[in-house]
């Protein structure tokens, strides 16, 4: 069923015409990125259903999507809430992204099909014009799709599934939320991300595994700097963990 949803708590109103499940997901996704739901806040299915004037079924399905995307967590017998992550959790996810993306881009440079490479380049270019606050939700989704596509392009199914699990634990939505509250940082951050993604995609297209890996490490380490600057992650904790995996990264 295709419907129009109205966010009665937001200016502007209408969500794009799409399935109710996807419409509710996009709306809740945007609210989390905008910081309208705080870490630890419960996402009550019945309350959301009443607010939006839809049945509980698409809300439940949308909450399942939020959980799978890492934007929410399900607590047995209690419900779904925006996750509260410790600094150690965040650093662990960051380090695992360093390790797995280093492997994934190297393998993608060797194994990705021409169609996969074309998809990567297309995803990068789709993010280029997305530089406003209203674009943040879509930008995050395309960003995630780009990295997952690289992992899938590695040719190793279990690597791509493991990467998806780790990426769901990485609090990129918290970085987007910070930028939403500090729009003066938006253009520089998103422009830098575009060029970093382009460098990775170009290296994969050139079948240059070493260059692809070095560009991926630079990109993730720049995200690490944002974790320190935006989220207050102790730089000593982050650097100590980086040193531990330096040999694995070959850097």
User: What number is the average pLDDT over the span 123-133?
Assistant: 93
Q: How many CB atoms within 10 Å of residue 223?
A: 17
Residues 210 and 172 both lie in one domain: yes
Mean pLDDT for 154-163 is 93
pTM of the full structure: 0.77
- On whether both 75 and 93 belong to a single domain, the answer is no
| Cα–Cα distance for residue pair 98/19, rounded to 1 Å | 36
What is the rounded distance in angstroms from the CA atom of residue 123 to the CA atom of residue 119? 6
pLDDT band, residue 18 (cuts 50/70/90): low
* Higher pLDDT, residue 45 or 13: 45
Residue 136 and residue 34 share a domain: no
- Domain range for 39: 2-81
Beta bridge partners of 136: none
Q: How many domains does the chain have?
A: 2
Same domain (yes/no): 209, 235 = yes
Geometric angle at alpha carbon 130, from 124 and 136, rounded to 5°: 105
What is residue 251's predicted lDDT score, i.e. its pLDDT?
58
Cβ atoms of 24 and 43 closer than 8 Å: no
- Over residues 135-142, mean pLDDT: 87
Q: Which of 23-37, 39-53, 111-125, 167-181 is modeled with the greatest confidence?
A: 111-125
- 59 & 127 share domain: no
Q: How many CA atoms lie within 13 A of 59 on its CB side?
A: 17
Please check the confidence at residue 230 and state whether its pLDDT lies above 70. Answer: yes
Domain final residue, candidates 35, 66, 81: 81
Please, what is the average pLDDT of the chain? 88
- Domain holding 116: CATH number? 1.20.120.530
Do 91 and 74 fall into the same domain?
Answer: no
The domain that contains 30 carries what CATH number? 1.10.10.10
pLDDT over 80 (residue 6): no
Domain boundary among 81, 114, 147: 81
> Does residue 210 sit in the same domain as residue 241?
yes
Q: Where are the beta strands (DSSP E) in the chain?
A: 2-3, 18-19, 73-75, 79-81
Most confident among 35-39, 87-91, 161-165 (mean pLDDT): 87-91
Phi/psi region, residue 7 (left: phi>0; alpha: psi -120 to 50; beta: rest), is: beta
Task: Flag the least confident range among 26-35, 85-94, 108-117, 198-207.
Answer: 26-35
Mean per-residue pLDDT for 111-121?
97
95 shares its domain with 208: yes
Q: Residue 60 corresponds to which tokens in the numbers above?
A: 């439940």
Q: Residues 119, 163: one domain?
A: yes
Q: In whole angstroms, give the CA distance from residue 43 to residue 79.
A: 8
| Cα–Cα dist 181/150, whole Å | 30
Are 103 and 204 contained in the same domain?
Answer: yes
Average pLDDT of the segment spanning 185-206? 95
- The answer on pLDDT for 5 being more than 70 is no
| C-alpha to C-alpha distance for 238 and 26, rounded to whole angstroms | 32
By the 10 Å C-beta count (0-12 exposed, 13-18 middle, 19+ buried), 110 is classed as middle
Question: Does pLDDT of 4 surpass 90?
Answer: no
Question: Is 220 or 250 the better-scoring residue by pLDDT?
Answer: 220
**Are residue 225 and residue 127 in the same domain, yes or no?**
yes
Mean pLDDT of 180-201: 93
| Same-domain status, 48 and 31 | yes
Point out the domain boundary residue: 81, 102, 131: 81
Distance CA 120, CA 102 (A): 16
């Amino acid at each position: 069923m295709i419907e129009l949803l109205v966010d009665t708590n937001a200016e502007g109103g209408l969500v794009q015409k799409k399935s109710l499940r996807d419409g509710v997901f996009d709306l809740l996704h945007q609210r989390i990125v905008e910081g309208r739901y705080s870490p630890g806040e419960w996402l009550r299915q019945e309350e959301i259903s009443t607010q939006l004037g839809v049945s509980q079924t698409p809300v439940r399905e949308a909450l399942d999507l939020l959980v799978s995307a890492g934007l929410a967590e399900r607590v047995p017998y209690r419900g779904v809430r925006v996750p509260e992550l410790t600094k150690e959790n965040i650093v662990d996810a960051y380090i695992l992204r360093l390790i797995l993306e280093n492997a994934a881009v190297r393998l993608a440079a060797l194994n990705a099909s021409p169609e996969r490479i074309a998809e990567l380049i297309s995803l990068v270019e789709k993010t280029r014009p997305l530089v406003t606050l209203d674009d943040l939700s879509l930008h995050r989704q395309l960003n995630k799709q780009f990295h997952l596509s690289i992992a899938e392009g590695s040719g190793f199914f279990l690597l791509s599934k493991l990467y998806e699990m780790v990426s769901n634990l990485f609090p990129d939505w918290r970085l987007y939320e910070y930028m939403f509250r500090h729009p003066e940082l938006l253009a520089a951050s998103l422009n830098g991300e575009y060029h970093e993604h382009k460098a990775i995609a170009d290296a994969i297209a050139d079948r240059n595994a070493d260059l692809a890996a070095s560009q991926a490490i630079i990109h993730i380490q720049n995200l690490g700097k944002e974790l320190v600057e935006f989220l207050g992650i102790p730089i000593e904790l982050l650097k100590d963990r980086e040193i531990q995996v330096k040999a694995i990264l070959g850097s």
